Structure 1
Amino acid sequence: MKRILIVSGHTDLNQSFANRIILDKLQSILPQAEFALLDKLYPDFCIDVSAEQQRLTGADVIVLQFPFFWYGMPSLMKKWMEDVFVHGFSHGSTGDKLHGKKLLLSFTSGAPEEMYKHGGLQNYTIEEFMPAFKQFAVLCGMEWQGYVYTGGLSYANRNDEEKLEQMRIKSITHAETLLKQIELL
Structure 2
Amino acid sequence: MNSVLIISGHPDLAHSVANREILAQLEKALPQAEIVRLDLLYPNYQIDVAAEQNRLLNADTIVLQFPFYWYSYPALLKKWVDDVFVYGFAHGSTGGKLAGKKLLISFTTGAAAEQYQPDGAMHHRVEQFLPAFQQLANLCQMQWLPPVYSNGMMTIPNVSTAEQLAAVREKALDHATRLVKTIQD
- Normalised to the residue count of structure 1, the TM-score between the two structures is 0.97
Distance 1:48 1:146 in 2: 29
Distance 2:5 2:119 in 1: 37
| 1:114 CA drift (Å) | 1.4
What does 1:1-185 align with in structure 2 at a 5 Å threshold? 1-156=1-156, 159-184=160-185
Q: Deviations over 1:29-53 (max 9, x none)?
A: 1000011110011011000000000
Distance 1:40 1:146 in 2: 28
- Between the two proteins, the alignment pairs up a number of residues equal to 184
| 1:156 CA drift (Å) | 2.4
| 1:11 CA drift (Å) | 0.4
Distance 1:52 1:107 in 2: 21
Identity fraction in percent: 53
| 1:159 CA drift (Å) | 3.0
| 1:61 CA drift (Å) | 0.3
Aligned alpha-carbon RMSD (Å): 0.9
Q: Tell me if the contact between 2:62 and 2:103 (Cα under 8 Å) persists in the aligned partners.
A: yes
Letter in 2 for 1:160: T
Moved over 6 A (4+): none
**What SS class does the counterpart of residue 7 from structure 1 fall into?**
strand
- Normalised to the residue count of structure 2, the TM-score between the two structures is 0.97
Q: Tell me if the contact between 2:155 and 2:165 (Cα under 8 Å) persists in the aligned partners.
A: no
| 1:15 CA drift (Å) | 1.1
**What SS class does the counterpart of residue 137 from structure 1 fall into?**
helix
| 1:155 CA drift (Å) | 2.2
Distance 1:76 1:65 in 2: 12
Unaligned runs of 5+ in 2: none
Q: Deviations over 1:75-122 (max 9, x none)?
A: 000000111111100000011110000001100011011110101111
